[in-house]
A and B are shown apart, each in its own frame.
Chain A
Amino acid sequence: QQPVQSPQAVILREGEDAVINCSSSKALYSVHWYRQKHGEAPVFLMILLKGGEQKGHEKISASFNEKKQQSSLYLTASQLSYSGTYFCGTEGKTGNQFYFGTGTSLTVIP
């Protein structure tokens, strides 16, 4: 039930935009997004709970298409500090188990 993310890796120049996609073969009841910087623990970015919901966090926002079982994370005007690995995640139907996606490595260069 692990969600699949694309792309696996992306390199951006400062100021460029990026989109990270997360899709599941099973129903998504919620979508969580986390960022993990090299050598550190994952840090929570946001949760989307409803189909069609969009949320924003500084210049990072996300959307959730429940029907397509997909979510996308949008990073605009990227900064060096955005570098890291981004994970989506979702809970199982009962909300007890948690499944992280395969991860997307994002590198922002000057």
Chain B
Amino acid sequence: EAQVTQNPRYLITVTGKKLTVTCSQNMNHEYMSWYRQDPGLGLRQIYYSMNVEVTDKGDVPEGYKVSRKEKRNFPLILESPSPNQTSLYFCASSKGQNYNEQFFGPGTRLTVL
């Protein structure tokens, strides 16, 4: 089954404790992206990757890091989480970056205390 998986689905952590949210897709998609969703603000792009070893900032990259060492995986790293990073996070992938449908993972709800 074609899908995007994210882990963990739920996470409660404390300020400053490094964490990684994993994202994996099995559709051989070149383009992958991370979004955060906050009430009243919709979905905002954090980082995106056009292919292996090619990543770039989206609209709200501060406090986040990503890497793309393999085509299927695109982890999101919060090296020193803060309460304002409490949010719902989605990973998405698509075939190529231009004008294509994005497939979303189930989401990760992160709470930073």
Contact = CB atoms under 8 A, between A and B. Distances in A.
A41 B105 contact: yes
Interface string B40-75: 011111001010000010110000000000000000
A101 B42 contact: yes
A62 B74 CA distance: 32
Interface residues of A, number: 22
Given A41-B107, A98-B33, A47 B99 contact: yes
A69 to B, nearest CB: 17
Nearest to B56: A96
Contact of B42 (A30, A41, A95, A103): A103
Interface residues of B, number: 24
Given A41-B90, A41-B106, A87 B43 contact: yes
B59 A99 contact: yes
Nearest to A1: B59
30 contacts: A2-B42, A2-B44, A2-B59, A30-B99, A32-B101, A34-B102, A40-B106, A41-B104, A42-B43, A42-B90, A43-B104, A44-B101, A44-B102, A44-B103, A47-B101, A87-B43, A91-B97, A91-B99, A95-B98, A97-B48, A97-B58, A97-B59, A98-B45, A98-B58, A99-B45, A99-B59, A100-B35, A100-B43, A100-B45, A101-B42
